[in-house]
A and B are shown apart, each in its own frame.
Chain A
Amino acid sequence: MTFILEIKRSSGLRFRRVLNETPVSVLRLPRGPEPNSRGFDPTSPRFIALCPTTLPSSSSSSGSADEEEQRLRAELRERFLRTLLLMTGKRVRFDMHEHVRVHARFGASDIDVLNLQVCDLETPLGVQREALLRSQDVIACSFEV
């Protein structure tokens, strides 16, 4: 984009400068994070080249130990999800950071368990009919089975 330089001499230097400057072109914008993935593409050249020789992680490299760990993780995950299901509709006590302890009726959690939907949340300011609790603020929840 270019402009006619026939502008009044009395215009400020700043005005002339804005007209004369062309913004630098860009090929595209930087790519942002993928919504459902933490990234670190295993098919990237760097991953393929460096992965076997990067830092040893704490888990062992033998196949059976990995499988056992996987099995235990799956079991724990299933237990956690079943607990969430069992909690639905019940009055739950949430122990949170900064010594906060509140009671509420648990509704549901979102898919990533980032937020917990509750009703009748008892707070020092009164009872909140509907609320969302941030999971990362919750240390523990307890309820009567």
Chain B
Amino acid sequence: MAMRQTPLTCSGHTRPVVDLAFSGITPYGYFLISACKDGKPMLRQGDTGDWIGTFLGHKGAVWGATLNKEATKAATAAADFTAKVWDAVTGDEVLTLAHKHIVKSVNFTEDSTCLLTGGNDKVLRIYDLGKPEAEPLEIAGHTSAIKKALWCNNDQQILSAADDRTVRLWDKNTKEAVKTLAFDASVSSMEYIPDGEILVITYGRTIAFYNANSLDLIKAVDAPASIHSASLHPEKDFFVAGGDDFKLYKYDYTTKEEMESYKGHFGPIHCVRFSPDGELYASGSEDGTLRLWQTAVGKTYGLWKCVLPENLDGKYNTAI
């Protein structure tokens, strides 16, 4: 019996949701953080979408949010010219890192000792969280606002995407750009998959997959509408993408064929990410909601329950 996807809507934000990130799998499950223009990033239980807490303190729209692998720390990037580090267990603010302009992106290293930030002042900064008063390491080079900055290659290199339509790979120690990719359109999102060293980049209607070391193109797919974000399944069999037409698209990574599209959001989709176990993906939208979607529709997982049909002989008949 064919099942129709039932997305789970997580409400609570009052403005568009612009970024979201999952933690790794912890003994307490996995967690999800959402960045919102209402200035109040929220932490949720990853598999159910249940609200756990709100990080209060930013005085402007929050453009980026991330969790460390163990979900013990959170970091946020905001329009109030600060990046903040939070205790993700108590919700307390731990550090405020002042910047000279809107901060758009934050990313922890694998061991959570360093935080990478990037934003409208076009400079990448690396903070040692053990010495927060020390000046950050700065990497300059982009000619426009930085949208996304990520650690890669065992935290030895940095990938950054900016409004100057380039994606650059930097060496953390030499602070030099090792490689640059130029695009015709602004890059809307970037995801780094450490296992397999794959970089997922979206621009215009295209979802492109690159080797994260060489920045060689692996493959590219064009969607029916402008795409704002895409995510590759941990097992690399599917990827999902969402953008301007409010729909979520699911593609087969191997064949590049569109498998499904899902309606549900009432506004453009700004971010989409697979959970660390690949069982669901979360999307954040201009409509102020997060939605959770099943990878295997109909499977019992989280709040979704597989209900067996009453009649097992394969014939359809009306319910009385």
Q: Enumerate chain A interface residues (CB-CB to B < 8 A).
A: 1-5, 17, 20-34, 38-42, 44-47, 49-51, 54-55, 57-58, 136
C-beta contact mask, B295-320 vs A, less than 8 Å → 1, else 0?
00110000111110111000111110
The answer to whether B59 and A136 have CB atoms under 8 Å apart is yes
Interface of chain B residues 4 through 22 with chain A (CB within 8 A): 4-6, 8-12
A33, B316: Cβ atoms closer than 8 Å: no
Query: Across chains A and B, which 7 residue pairs bring their CB atoms closest together, nearest first?
Result: A39-B53, A30-B49, A40-B91, A40-B53, A21-B4, A24-B6, A31-B50
Query: Interface residues, chain B, CB within 8 Å of chain A?
Result: 1-6, 8-12, 28, 39, 42-44, 48-56, 59, 72-73, 87, 89-92, 94, 292, 294, 297-298, 303-307, 309-311, 315-319
Contact B89 A46 (CB under 8 A): yes
The answer to whether A55 touches B6 (Cβ under 8 A) is no
In the complex, what distance in Å separates the CA atom of A98 from the CA atom of B163? 24
Q: Report the separation of the CA atoms of residues A58 and B304 in the bound assembly, to the nearest whole angstrom.
A: 42
Interface centre among B90, B298, B311 (most CB of A within 10 A): B90
Q: How far in angstroms is the closest Cβ of chain B from A70?
A: 15
A55–B87 CB distance below 8 A: yes
In-complex Cβ contact of A30 among B1, B50, B54, B89 (8 A): B50
The contact of B51 among A25, A31, A51, by CB within 8 Å, is A31
Q: Given contacts A23-B3, A46-B89, A54-B89, are A30 and B318 in contact (CB under 8 A)?
A: no
Q: Are A22 and B89 in contact (CB under 8 A)?
A: no
Q: A25-B6, A25-B304, A31-B50 are in contact. Are A57 and B39 (CB under 8 A)?
A: no
Residues of chain B with a CB closer than 8 A to A44's CB: 52
Closest to B26 in A: A46
With A2-B309, A29-B9, A32-B12 given, is the CB distance from A39 to B318 under 8 Å? no
Minimal Cβ-Cβ distance residue in B for A24: B6
Q: Do B3 and A21 touch (CB < 8 A)?
A: yes
Return the chain B residue nearest A17 by Cβ: B2
Q: Are B49 and A47 in contact (CB under 8 A)?
A: no
Contacts of B53 in A (CB 8 A): 38-41
Contact of B42 among A23, A26, A33 (CB under 8 A): A33
Which residue of the partner chain, among A21, A22, A23, A38, contacts B54 with CB atoms under 8 Å? A38
Q: Which A residues are CB-close (under 8 A) to B89?
A: 40, 46-47, 50-51, 54
Q: How long is the Cα–Cα vector from A47 to B309 in the complex, in angstroms?
A: 41
Shortest distance from the beta carbon of A42 to any chain B beta carbon, whole Å: 8
Whether A24 contacts B311 in the complex (CB less than 8 A), given A31-B50, A57-B92, comes out as no
Q: A2-B311, A54-B87, A136-B39 are in contact. List 7 more A-B contacts (CB 8 A).
A: A4-B316, A20-B316, A26-B6, A30-B50, A38-B56, A54-B72, A57-B92
